[in-house]
């Protein structure tokens, strides 16, 4: 683990996707997504069970879809606690599960890519577990996390959205009663020393 390096700490692309509600009489509510070529994917609103086999369909809500520079599409299947990766034509590539036992709102709320040309890292906002996960984009391996639940700087209350700027700084927003934006300043790369960084206070400050 010590050989791994992570950013020390917080582009929107049109994917050609549309979404429509499809609640038929007597049936379960679901979403239908369709790309410009007419291909579609069905979304299931059933209850997530971490002990069950991995679902082959999304559950609502699908909370993000981000296009990487290499043309891969990363989808936040929030209630299924997973990121799925697709080619732009909808072909499935791979997936990873985040905090598998998270129920309710789910763990995978939003993602942003690091700003290096290869977009080496994924920053994942986990509003249920009140933290940011840092993953390697190519393998989806989780390296570490930072943050914890609370109202103080560096803590989160339902962290909802995440973005990066051209300098690599990270910005987060909080929903429900969190109601704030936080900025985390990029300080370069460093070794992975723990799987959970906790609240990231700058050195020499409280």
Q: How does the average pLDDT of the chain come out, rounded?
A: 81
How would residue 76 be classed by pLDDT, with cut points 50, 70 and 90?
very high
45: left (phi over 0), alpha (psi -120 to 50) or beta: alpha
**Superfamily grouping for domain 5-191:** TolB, C-terminal domain (2.120.10.30)
pLDDT of 88 strictly over 60 = yes
pLDDT of 61 strictly over 60 = yes
136: left (phi over 0), alpha (psi -120 to 50) or beta: beta
Burial class (CB in 10 A: 0-12, 13-18, 19+), 186: middle
How many CB atoms sit inside 10 A of residue 113's CB?
20
Instruction: Give the residue among 110, 194, 198, 191 at the shortest CA–CA distance from 154.
Output: 198
Backbone angles phi, psi at 157, to 5 degrees: -125, 100
Q: What is the pLDDT of residues 134-167, one digit of tens each?
A: 999 999 999 999 999 999 889 999 999 999 999 9
Contact status, residue 14 vs residue 31, Cβ threshold 8 Å: no
How many CB atoms sit inside 10 A of residue 105's CB?
17
How would residue 47 be classed by pLDDT, with cut points 50, 70 and 90?
confident
Say what the pLDDT of residue 56 is: 79
Say what the pLDDT of residue 48 is: 79
Q: Using CA of residue 52, residue 53, residue 58, residue 64, what is the dihedral sign? A: positive
């Amino acid at each position: 683990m010590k050989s791994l390096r992570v950013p020390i700490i917080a582009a929107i692309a049109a994917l050609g996707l549309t979404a429509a509600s499809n609640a038929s009489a007597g049936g379960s509510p679901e979403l239908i997504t369709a790309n410009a070529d007419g291909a579609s994917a069905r979304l299931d609103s059933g209850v997530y069970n971490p002990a069950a086999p991995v679902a082959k369909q999304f559950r609502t809500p699908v909370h993000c879809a981000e296009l990487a520079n290499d043309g891969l599409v990363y989808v936040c299947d929030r209630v299924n606690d997973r990121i799925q990766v697709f080619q732009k034509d909808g072909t499935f590539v791979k997936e990873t599960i985040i905090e598998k036992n998270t129920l309710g709102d789910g763990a995978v709320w939003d993602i942003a890519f690091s700003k290096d040309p290869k977009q080496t890292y994924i920053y994942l906002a986990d509003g249920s577990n009140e933290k940011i996960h840092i993953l390697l984009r190519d393998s989806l391996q989780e390296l570490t996390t930072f943050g914890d639940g609370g109202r103080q700087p560096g803590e989160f209350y339902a962290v909802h959205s995440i973005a990066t700027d051209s300098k690599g700084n990270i910005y987060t927003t909080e929903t429900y009663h969190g109601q704030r934006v936080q900025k985390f300043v990029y300080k370069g790369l460093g070794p992975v020393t723990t799987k959970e960084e906790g609240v990231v206070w700058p050195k020499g400050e409280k």
